Amino acid sequence: MDIVDAVLIPGGGLTTSGGVTPWVQARLEQAIAYTPPPRFLIPLSAGTTHKPPPLDVNGFPILESVAAARYLQHRGIEGSRILPETVSLDTIGNAYYARLKHIEPLKLQRLHVISSAFHLNRTQAIFDRIFALPPFREPWQLTFEAVPNVGIAGDSLQARSDRERASLLKFQTLRARFTTLAAVHRWLYTEHSAYALGHTPSKLHNAALETY
Domain that residue 70 falls in:
6-211
pLDDT band at 1 (very low <50, low <70, confident <90, very high): confident
The verdict on residue 179 lying in a domain is: yes
Looking at residue 141, what is its pLDDT? 96
Residue 124: the pLDDT is 98
pLDDT for 200 beyond 90: no
pLDDT surpassing 90 at residue 102: yes
Domain CATH for 48: 3.40.50.620
pLDDT for 190 equals 96
Angle, alpha carbons 21-168-212 (nearest 5°)? 20
pLDDT for position 138 = 73
pLDDT at 26: 98
- Residue 154 is assigned to a structural domain of this protein: yes
Average pLDDT of the segment spanning 150-167:
95
Residue 72 lies in a domain: yes
Torsion of CA 185, 104, 46, 72, to 10 degrees: 160
3-state secondary structure of 85: strand
Alpha-carbon gap, residue 106 to 80, rounded angstroms: 13
Helix 91-98, helix 117-130: angle, nearest 10: 50
Domains in the chain, number: 1
